[in-house]
Amino acid sequence: MPHPTENLPSPEQILADLKEFIEQAVEENHGSTKPVRPKHRVPFSWPPKAISHQYHIPAKSWTDRAEYEAHGEKFPVRVAHTPHGVFGRCEKCWHEARGDTVEEMLRRLQKAGEPLFRRQLAIGKTLGFPGRFVGRISDLAPQDLVRLLYCPDRDVAYEAKLEIEKHASLGVFGPALIHVLRDDRHPHRRSAQWCVLDTMEDISLILPDENDQREAIAAMRDLLWNATDDYARAIYKAGVVIGGHLPGQIGKEVLLECFHAPSKYGRRAAMHGVFHVVEWHPPALREIVERLREASLNDPEPILRRYAAAMADDLEAGRDHGPDPVFPEEEV
């Protein structure tokens, strides 16, 4: 992030930009604030392996020229006619294709470029840029990195999260990240919240201010308390962070409180999270087992009553826990 410290936006400016960004997204979504169930993250790797290397095509073979068009943009192509077919190389996007004819090669080259174009267009749309984003995420301003946490392409969001972690020492991200945790309006908030929760695994690094840490813990607690879904497994992640990455007594109290949350997703996450509390704070074992036994009798969800009983058994036996239960609507 090549920005001199004196030119950095303030935490307040980044937060204000985020709030405006969220309201724009709600407006574009026709006023709906219902969360979107995101797709799984697919790690992105580019450029793909050059097919010409498999056939040992020498540099002197690339003598012809062509072009293809995609998304309103023309891409120049270097062409090699060989006994193995026609090869095309788009140096603008660093990818290749092979076909029996120039036309077939160009069709394949265009298709091969789509993963890159989809990613670049998704970044551009999220940031409000026209067309493809052809820069580097690492060069973006802090407020743009925060916006990218909401990118529908979850690998882009994850890369933005990594950049935020790398530059946590700038001290400008805290209020915006806490606001992401409290966001109940942006359609893509769940995957953004997962990313922020991942940064909170080292909460003192990402939020060195103790007041910010307390606000973040309260926001995580509220995520469990009010969850209407567990898209992107964000609620599960909050339980893991509270139970496994906060000081034992703090995590224990928050999660035990959430045993009584109105959200069944939050209660499930809390029952999972207390397992990690015991891992890092063994003196909590007896109290947590007792509370799980109570939940196994009193939780309004039969699935969670069975889960609480199984978790108590696992803790008492000193073994790893079994899989989390899945609610019927999550199996769709």
Q: Which amino acid is present at 121?
A: L
SS3 content of the chain, % helix, strand, coil (to 5): 60, 10, 30
Find, among 250, 312, 249, 233, the residue nearest to 282 by Cα: 249
Round to whole Å and give the CA distance between 74 and 275: 56
DSSP per position, 81-119: EETTEEEEEETTTTEEEEESSHHHHHHHHHHHTHHHHHH
Return the pLDDT at 202: 93
> Measured in Å, how far apart are the chain's first and last C-alpha atoms?
41
What residue ranges define each of the domains in the chain, with the CATH number in brackets? 5-40+137-331 (1.25.10), 51-116 (no CATH)
The tens digit of pLDDT for each residue in 184-227 reads: 999 999 999 999 999 999 999 999 999 999 999 999 999 999 99
Find, among 84, 154, 93, the residue nearest to 122 by Cα: 154
The tens digit of pLDDT for each residue in 114-139 reads: 999 999 999 999 999 989 999 999 99
Residues of the chain predicted below pLDDT 50: 2, 4
Identify the residue whose tokens are 């690492």: 138
The tens digit of pLDDT for each residue in 51-73 reads: 999 999 999 999 999 999 999 99
**Continuous segment of H or E residues that includes residue 24:** helix 11-28
Return the pLDDT at 70: 96
Round to whole Å and give the CA distance between 226 and 262: 7
